[in-house]
Structure 1
Amino acid sequence: MRILVVAPLASTHFTPLIPLCWAFRAGGHEVLVAAPPDLVPTARSAGLSTIVIGDAARLLDTIGENVTPDMYPAEAFGDRTSHWGRQVWELSTLHQVSYAVEHVEEYLAFADEWKPDIVLYDQLTLIGRIAGVVLGAVSVSHRWGVDPTAGPYEERVRRDLAAVCRRFKLDELPAPDVIVDPCPPSLQVEDAPPGQPMRYVPFNGTGTLPDWARRRAAGRRICICLGGSLLDVTGPAPLRRVIEAARAVPDAEVVLAITPANRRLVDDLPDDLRVVESLPLQLFLPTCDLVVGSGGSGTGLTATSMGIPQLVVPQWFDQFDYGRRLAAAGAGLNLPGRDQQSDPAVIREAAETLLGDSSFSTAVQKLRTEIESAPSPIEVAARLTSMVR
């Protein structure tokens, strides 16, 4: 069978799809990724073939052009029921909608020529939702993790794409045939539509296992990872505060996972930090006692799948829901407020609480069990191919 993957507009939403793509390939199926040019390297790094369609996504550039670092943490994202929360989630649709309007016909023209049996796409990839139904293929949406797009986001994209849908003789923006959900149920937001569970398999790129990561530290090892894209928008301030807090924890070795581009934003890092650039998290997190992150599902679910408690300092979008749900599950602590995040002493105290209380480790092991008991990508791929008429 042929599986067409419509790539999302951000690499952090692409990597969660890759284990399922591998599963399709392992089952003998043909997988092709239709991607804007700036997403091609992510697909190639995972051994997937591509076709380039459309202009560069430039998602982060678009966000950065319309915000300033002092807007973060953007706490309104944490409450979709409030007036401001509803507005910021509606505004977050603009780039996704405009890209879909501009390029949907290019994607459909190629897809009609290639004739896929399954169209696979990220939950935010609106072109994929249209293409699957128009082509008569099995339409498969894949969540990146915690998914708070029900409500204001979904309502806005349906309204803004109504005219495009009518052009293709669709009454409205179609729902997928299947939603694949790699997020354990105890972490998923309450109003997320039910999905097909799938075991979360970490993929953070490829790398070489360093010697130090083959063994645990003499004391406690804390990993700081705020993701690969956040600092481009917020600037280095959130990272500097977290570093100051983690270094103040007694008997702690601090590992900073960062991209080379973000490393240039903080060129005066303390000498006692262990800095790793673009080293896949799955290579060294098993030796860590705590992960401090912004609540991105890639970092968060990787840590959860390895049974590591987390301290979340959310900045935007779904990170507030991730932190809230993780804290509710007892597997970590969440510091969503500007007043909390502005004080390194508060962050340090939270880190020490997580390191000193075994109940957090017990709770995260329950989440790890949820992840491991879900169907594997191989099993899910087989179920999806069985749906093809």
Structure 2
Amino acid sequence: MRVLFATWAWPSHLYALVPLARACRAAGHEVLVASQPAIQDEIVRVGLPAAAVGQDVDAAGLVRGYLLPSAAVPAPVVPAGPEGRGPRAMRMFHAHADSMVDDLTALARDWRADLVVYEPTALAGPIAAAAAGVPAVRLLYGTDLLLRARGLLPEVLAPLAERNGVGAFDPFGSCTVDPCPDEFQVPVDYERLPMRYVPYNGPGAGSPLRAPAPGRRRAVVTWGHTMAKMSPAHFLAPQAALAARDEDTEVVLAVSAAQLPLLGELPEDVTVTVDVPLHLLLADADLVVSHGGAGTVLTALQAGLPLLLVPQLPDHAGHSARVLACGAGEVLSRDEADPARLRAEVRRLLDSGAERAAARRLRERNAERPAPAELVPALEELTDRRSASVR
């Protein structure tokens, strides 16, 4: 079986594909990951074969247009284009699909793919699969935030589909693979293939941290990759780290090499780790403080840890809302997240058993779900059914 994975050029979206892509390779299948040129080196770094399709899009510039309003940091105003209905980010997803779809369709045909697996915002994926006459599998990276746009997608994508010889098709593909525990997922009206969330937070190395000294607790602070690309004013990791410090609480601040210049002066008792995958830092942690990105949230919950979140983008707000709904943490707006409030919420969450118990329940529910390797036979069955139907 030849499995073509598709994502647009954003690291966290790529990382969400890695566990299932590796499972397919381990089962003896050929795998190829297609995306725009900007992320080709990163695909190679994660250890998967890469193919460049389409042209690069100013993703950071588009994301910047969807920052949530804040009195502290006003968001730029970006006029909506003709694809502006539905979720505000639809304009961005359409731009990426437009960039990728022609080359991705040609690749699916020329490589003779048997299956296309795509993350939910890589909307060139289902078009390429339909053009090649093969099943399309949507692999969620978190809660299904495109569900409310489902009715709009066929119309929005119709010109791109027609350009590649595709008439009617389902943008949600043949099936959806869902890595979220049922309690965490938004209510959906379609059949899903449940999959255990297995953290992959990027290529990197790191030695395990020493456990905190007796009587001390540990808060891990991370602000992902996206917010620092918006502006230093949206990168709240240093402020959060300072607020989390206390005589009985040590802080581990996880950053990328690119974010180091944004940290400023930090006390010696803040441990800074650089380019260490987040899941390697959570074994002895008691709390995660972050921006609310899907990968960070699911990685923390997979470790059974409560979260304090400050979302500044719509998808971060969506995942933060699910954390709140499950009782596994607290959410502050950008304007609420002053040092005093951050400090108070860190103290409350470290002392509270309710959020910790809720996070541990989600960890248990995740562990009950099938591992990525257990989904490979279901993918094989999809291609077998397709082969039988064309014979």
Q: Give the TM-score, by structure 2 length.
A: 0.88
Contact between 1:142 and 1:181, CA under 8 Å: does it hold in 2?
A: yes
The CA distance in 2 between the partners of 1:72 and 1:186, in whole Å, is 33
Aligned mate of 1:174, from 159, 171, 174 = 171
Aligned residue number for residue 226 of structure 1: 223
The CA distance in 2 between the partners of 1:271 and 1:291, in whole Å, is 20
Per-residue CA distance 1:72-95 (angstroms, 9 max, x = gap): 7899xxxxxxxxxx9796431212
| 1:102 to 1:228, Cα distance in 2 relative to 1, 3 A | closer
How far is the alpha carbon of 1:358 from its aligned partner? 1.7
Per-residue CA distance 1:314-333 (angstroms, 9 max, x = gap): 11122112222112212111
The question of 1:330 aligning with 2:327 is answered yes
Contact between 1:293 and 1:299, CA under 8 Å: does it hold in 2?
A: yes
Per-residue CA distance 1:219-254 (angstroms, 9 max, x = gap): 11110011112121142453343233212x441111
The CA distance in 2 between the partners of 1:206 and 1:103, in whole Å, is 25
The CA distance in 1 between the partners of 2:63 and 2:151, in whole Å, is 21
Contact between 1:294 and 1:313, CA under 8 Å: does it hold in 2?
A: yes
Contact between 1:69 and 1:233, CA under 8 Å: does it hold in 2?
A: no
The CA distance in 1 between the partners of 2:317 and 2:72, in whole Å, is 12
| 1:277 to 1:165, Cα distance in 2 relative to 1, 3 A | same
How far is the alpha carbon of 1:194 from its aligned partner? 4.2
The question of 1:159 aligning with 2:151 is answered no
Q: Secondary structure at the match of 2:117?
A: strand
The question of 1:244 aligning with 2:239 is answered no
The CA distance in 1 between the partners of 2:191 and 2:232, in whole Å, is 36
The CA distance in 2 between the partners of 1:170 and 1:138, in whole Å, is 15
The amino acid that maps onto 1:262 is Q
**1:1-389 alignment to 2 at 5 Å?**
1-64=1-64, 90-151=87-148, 153-167=149-163, 168-171=165-168, 174-191=171-188, 193-210=190-207, 213-218=209-214, 219-237=216-234, 238-247=236-245, 249-335=246-332, 337-341=333-337, 343-388=338-383, 389=387
Q: Secondary structure at the match of 1:350?
A: helix
> What is the RMSD computed on CA atoms of the aligned residues?
2.5
| 1:106 to 1:371, Cα distance in 2 relative to 1, 3 A | same
Contact between 1:10 and 1:39, CA under 8 Å: does it hold in 2?
A: yes
The CA distance in 1 between the partners of 2:361 and 2:116, in whole Å, is 33
| 1:174 to 1:308, Cα distance in 2 relative to 1, 3 A | closer
Q: Please say which of residues 265-274 and 349-358 is displaced more in the overlay.
A: 265-274
* Higher-RCO chain (CA-CA 8 Å, sequence separation at least 6): 1
Report the number of matched residues. Answer: 374
Per-residue CA distance 1:141-185 (angstroms, 9 max, x = gap): 11011221122x445543322222234231355330011110111
Runs of 5+ in structure 1 lacking a partner? 76-85
Contact between 1:15 and 1:42, CA under 8 Å: does it hold in 2?
A: no
The CA distance in 1 between the partners of 2:139 and 2:65, in whole Å, is 28
| Identical columns (%) | 32
The CA distance in 2 between the partners of 1:353 and 1:5, in whole Å, is 42
Query: 1 or 2, which has the higher helix percentage?
Result: 1
Contact between 2:222 and 2:253, CA under 8 Å: does it hold in 1?
A: yes
Contact between 1:291 and 1:310, CA under 8 Å: does it hold in 2?
A: yes
Per-residue CA distance 1:175-226 (angstroms, 9 max, x = gap): 3001111011111123474421100001112333325x14334411110011
| 1:298 to 1:317, Cα distance in 2 relative to 1, 3 A | same
Aligned residue number for residue 79 of structure 1: none
| 1:309 to 1:102, Cα distance in 2 relative to 1, 3 A | closer
Contact between 1:68 and 1:233, CA under 8 Å: does it hold in 2?
A: no
How far is the alpha carbon of 1:34 from its aligned partner? 1.4
Contact between 1:144 and 1:297, CA under 8 Å: does it hold in 2?
A: yes
The CA distance in 2 between the partners of 1:68 and 1:145, in whole Å, is 20
| 1:49 to 1:146, Cα distance in 2 relative to 1, 3 A | same
Q: Please say which of residues 134-143 and 317-326 is displaced more in the overlay.
A: 317-326
| 1:35 to 1:223, Cα distance in 2 relative to 1, 3 A | same
Q: Give the TM-score, by structure 1 length.
A: 0.88
The CA distance in 1 between the partners of 2:135 and 2:203, in whole Å, is 31
How far is the alpha carbon of 1:130 from its aligned partner? 0.6
| 1:338 to 1:36, Cα distance in 2 relative to 1, 3 A | closer
| 1:68 to 1:374, Cα distance in 2 relative to 1, 3 A | closer
How far is the alpha carbon of 1:306 from its aligned partner? 0.9
